[in-house]
Structure 1
Amino acid sequence: MGDLSTKVALTVKRYGIKVRPNASTGLWVFPLVPLAVIVSALRHPNEVSVIYQYAALLCIGLLQTSLLFVLHCSRKGQPDGSHLMLPTAITTVAFYSYFKTGFVFSICSGLFSSFGYYKLLLFTLKVLPCSFTIGEASIVVQAAILFFYTTVLNVINSIAQVTFTKMQTSTLIIQLGVLTVALICWLCYRFKSLRKPIPFYMMAVFSCVFFLFVPLHLILNFSPILWILQLMINDARAMRVVSIWIFGSLLAFLVARSQMRGAKKATTIQRKAFHILAVLMFTPGLVMECSLTFIASAVILSIFIVFDVMRVLCLPPFGQAFQDTFVVYGDDKDVGITALTALYLPVACGIPMFVHPSPCDITDSAGFYLLPVMSGLLSIGIGDSAASAVGSKCGRFHWKHSKKTVEGTLASIISQALIVYCLFYYGFVSGEETLIRSGIAIVVTSLMEAKTTQIDNLVLPLLMYILLV
């Protein structure tokens, strides 16, 4: 693997791609997103929709393209796209023969999973130099491909739909909302004239109105904003969850403001405090108001992305304040233009919900799927935080070729095991098999946290999710 990784790194460097320094290429990360979707589809055959089945089959094309991309880089040098015909053909035949979707749809799916993924991967690595390793970029691009693919299919399918369940409505709002944020980012990249305050805000408002609110109103036949507000005040349980979120947000703001006044660089432990806060805010929502938490996680991610665009463009009134916060709280892995470690925290919390085919049950709780849906909260919010705190304060024995300590890894394992045991003791999870599987997932994920140079917030939730599902 080391020799293969070196060959790929040299190839992409000759191709003019600048990856995140002081990190390996992360080739082992390539299969995580496709495997998470495929395993979910296999483990929950009764819950998966037709669109999710399409996405799972598309993941096979993503896996093929990733494998051939690595092999092409290691053997032939600079990638030129000639290796994409085989995965395109295999995916097309799979769609046509298994789902009977028709030749046009099948070949479009095949092309999207190969050429679309390959082109977007290179585009992302070039446009955001030094921001990703190759593996990290693959996760982001694979997720983007799957998101766009399922969004288009879901919107087309929803146009003729008469009634919507709570999760279907939530999913549609999330998909069009995130797609609108992506459109805003792309327009800023494509047109320099939109990088000034007045044009930017006019464009953002126009995009939200005509690409989000109007389409949603036409498809759903009711206001999405009023629907979300009604969801927030629907009952006492929902209002309690919203109150916890408001209190947590205010606390996070006060903590950040206090750190900013001192103008001192935040320590690792101070940054991890936000991880613990995320656990305290997300967990009640998963247990009591799953659909609302589903929407909230996407809204938080979208807000973070818009804030980072404002920071990069230094747009008033908050652009400079965001930049000052980034200077104080920025991680040593934030060497590109974007504050990716900050964006990855809501991703870590929410990505298990986005990947799972049915994260919320009929009682609007994560229910039987609580542990898989909590993968990000366990691995990052609990495990990674405990490892950083104990490792920085008490760590004496370091893992070979790593800054991480054995004491930190043990703290990660013990802290997550205690949380799982508490969930088991109070009846939120059940079954000895679940405990055994959880123990294996915790140990494997904690050991990977100690050894990997990839972004923890991005890879650990996916790895734990696969092991738990």
Structure 2
Amino acid sequence: MEILTRHYGILEKRILSSLAASNLRHRTKDSTGLWLGPLIGTSTLMTFLKEDSSYSEICLLTGIAGGGLIISCICLYIRLMMKNVAAKDFHVVYFVPAIILSTLFLLVGNKGLLVSVTWGIVVGSFSTWGVIQLISSCPNCFTLGEATAVTHSLVLFLVSAFTNLPLRYHLPPIHDNDIITAILQVIILYVILICCLCVNLPKLRQLPQFFLLMIGMLFTIVIPALYIILDQNPFFWVLSFAFSTYITIFLLLYWAVCLLFALFAVKYQISQKSKATTSNRKIFHVLVVMVYIPGLISQPTFLYLASGTVLVLFSIIELHFGCPLKAWVYYL
């Protein structure tokens, strides 16, 4: 164990030195969180391997992508361990996961040559070079491990969404999980598109333009797309599902109480005009456990829908009201 710890420390020092030499501002000065890097790929690959022989095409392709993410993480770390290199530049080692993934998509996933090469290059490039670009674009926001996990999550989501949604068009979803997955994938793609537009056109973040953009895209793109995929009104389905049983209604009320408690705690902390201590932050950790445990036990499908909805709402709020939220984060 001591040998592993010593080598891990040497690896961290080399990578931190490489990031500093390339003027990439890391979130912390003494830790890279390298163990987070392969987490997404490993979890995806393990999920695929535990599936029975009747796995779906989506599961197969995401499993292949998960294995590719592990390879991408290794290639990224090897690249950052090299001396006298510019980390921001694209390097030949980044082609290794692209080549391996293209071959796997072609031979194992039974995809066409063009599709296999496209997916291989996209996944291989974004899961390596994309991590560096994320750290460069958001200085002091991520450790290397965190940036890798975020980038890999986005890559895996895109692979899953662009594989699942065309299948749902030809084969309408039957189970609640399938319907919720399709809804969340379309809405998250909608939020990602809004983020890209607002980043490239800052004027769209102003109040009138922002809400006009959101409402316009919602009614012209999102709702028609979901109606075609689900063959029913998505709003009516979500409402009927949320209020279908006494358990889901109770969960909604319970979560509302937890939300009010969280808002009260934030307001109280801000009124103190002092930075929160570690013990103060633990209150929110306990609150998260209190929110998730009842849902996991009684209604995991409804919890899945609620978690995706909150992610979308927080992303939109952060996109438009970024500065106030950053002030809250500072106090917390």
Provide the TM-score with structure 2 as the length reference: 0.90
- SS of residue matched to 2:128: helix
Change (3 A) 1:327 1:68: closer
The Cα shift of 1:259 comes to: 2.9
Distance 1:265 1:74 in 2: 37
Offset of 1:255 from its aligned partner?
A: 2.5
Q: Is the contact made by 2:247 and 2:298 (CA closer than 8 Å) also made in structure 1?
A: yes
| Aligned with 2:134 (options 124, 135, 141) | 124
Instruction: Note the 1:310-349 alignment, pairs <5 A.
Output: 310-312=320-322, 314=323, 320=324, 322-329=325-332
Residues 283-322 of structure 1 aligned to structure 2 (within 5 Å)? 283-312=293-322, 314=323, 320=324, 322=325
The aligned counterpart of 1:449 is: none
User: Which residue in the other structure is 1:78 paired with?
Assistant: 86
Report what 1:39 is aligned to. Answer: 46
Residue 67 of structure 2 aligns to a residue in which SS? helix
Given that residues 59 and 113 in structure 1 are in contact (C-alpha distance below 8 angstroms), is that contact kept between their aligned partners in structure 2?
no
Instruction: Specify whether residues 68 and 261 from structure 1 end up closer, same or farther in structure 2 by C-alpha distance, changes over 3 A only.
Output: closer
Q: Choose 292-301 or 207-216, whichever is displaced more.
A: 207-216
Spell out the pairing of 1:3-402 with structure 2 (5 A cutoff).
Answer: 3-45=10-52, 48-75=55-82, 77-79=85-87, 80-312=90-322, 314=323, 320=324, 322-329=325-332
Please state how far the C-alpha of 1:47 moved relative to its aligned partner: 7.2
Paired letter, 2:169: I
1:2 aligns with 2:6: no
Task: Give yes or no for contact 1:89–1:110 (8 Å, CA) kept in 2.
Answer: yes
Structure 1 segments of 4+ aligned residues over 4 angstroms from their partners = none
The whole-number CA distance in structure 1 between the counterparts of 2:318 and 2:226 is 26
Shift in alpha-carbon separation, 1:233–1:96, aligned structure 2, 3 A:
same
Question: What is the letter of the counterpart of residue 279 of structure 2?
Answer: I
Distance 1:47 1:305, change over 3 A: farther
Shift of 1:209: 2.8
Contact 1:41/1:56 (8 A) holds in 2: yes
Partner Cα separation in structure 2 for residue 94 and residue 227 of structure 1 = 38
User: CA–CA distance in 2 between the matches of 1:220 and 1:155?
Assistant: 10
Per-residue CA distance 1:283-311 (angstroms, 9 max, x = gap): 11112222111010111122222222233
- Tell me the amino acid that sits aligned with residue 251 of structure 1: F
C-alpha distance after superposition, 1:243-298 (max 9, x if no partner): 21122112222222333333343332222212222222221111222211101011
Q: Quick one: distance in 2 between partners of 1:147 and 1:198?
A: 30
Aligned pair in 2 of structure 1 residues 209, 121: CA closer, same or farther (>3 Å)?
Answer: farther
Distance 1:16 1:209, change over 3 A: farther
Query: In structure 2, what residue type is equivalent to 1:328?
Result: Y
- The percentage of aligned residue pairs carrying the same residue is 23
CA distance in 2, matches of 1:74, 1:86: 16
- Letter in structure 2 aligned against 1:327: Y
Match of 1:362 in 2: none
Aligned residues: 322
Contact 1:58–1:109 at 8 Å: present in 2 too?
no
Q: Distance in 1 between matches of 2:37 and 2:123?
A: 14
Contact 1:23/1:133 (8 A) holds in 2: no
C-alpha RMSD of matched pairs (Å): 2.0
Shift of 1:216: 0.8
Runs of 5+ in structure 2 lacking a partner? 1-7
Distance change >3 Å, CA 277–CA 151, structure 1 → 2: same
Counterpart Cα distance in 2 of 1:178 and 1:105 = 23
Paired letter, 1:91: L
Distance in 2, Cα, partners of 1:24 & 1:259: 28
Q: CA deviation at 1:323?
A: 4.8
Residues 73 and 267 of structure 1: is their aligned pair in 2 closer, same or farther, counting only changes over 3 Å? closer
Could you state the TM-score of these two structures normalised by the residue count of structure 1? Answer: 0.65
Which amino acid letter does the alignment assign opposite residue 288 of structure 1?
A: S
Q: Give the conservation status (yes or no) of the 8 Å contact 1:92–1:109.
A: yes
Match of 1:24, SS state, is coil
- 1:9-37 deviation per Cα after TM superposition (whole angstroms, max 9, x unaligned): 22222223111123412222221111111
Change (3 A) 1:48 1:18: farther
The one-letter code of the counterpart of 2:28 is P
Q: Distance in 2 between matches of 1:292 and 1:54?
A: 26
Shift of 1:46: 5.3
User: 1:174, 1:47 → 2: CA distance?
Assistant: 25
Name 1:388's counterpart in structure 2.
Answer: none
* Alpha-carbon displacement from aligned partner over 1:405-449 (angstroms, at most 9, x marks no partner): xxxxxxxxxxxxxxxxxxxxxxxxxxxxxxxxxxxxxxxxxxxxx
What letter corresponds to residue 86 of structure 2 in structure 1? Answer: Q
Task: Name whichever of 190-199 and 256-265 sits farther off.
Answer: 256-265
Cα distance in 2 for partners of 1:238, 1:206 equals 31
1:113 CA displacement: 2.0
Matched AA of 1:305: S
Q: 1:259 to 1:237 in 2, by over 3 A?
A: same
Task: Give ranges in structure 1 of 5+ residues lacking alignment.
Answer: 315-319, 330-469
Give secondary structure in 2 for the equivalent of 1:230: helix
Shift of 1:138: 0.3
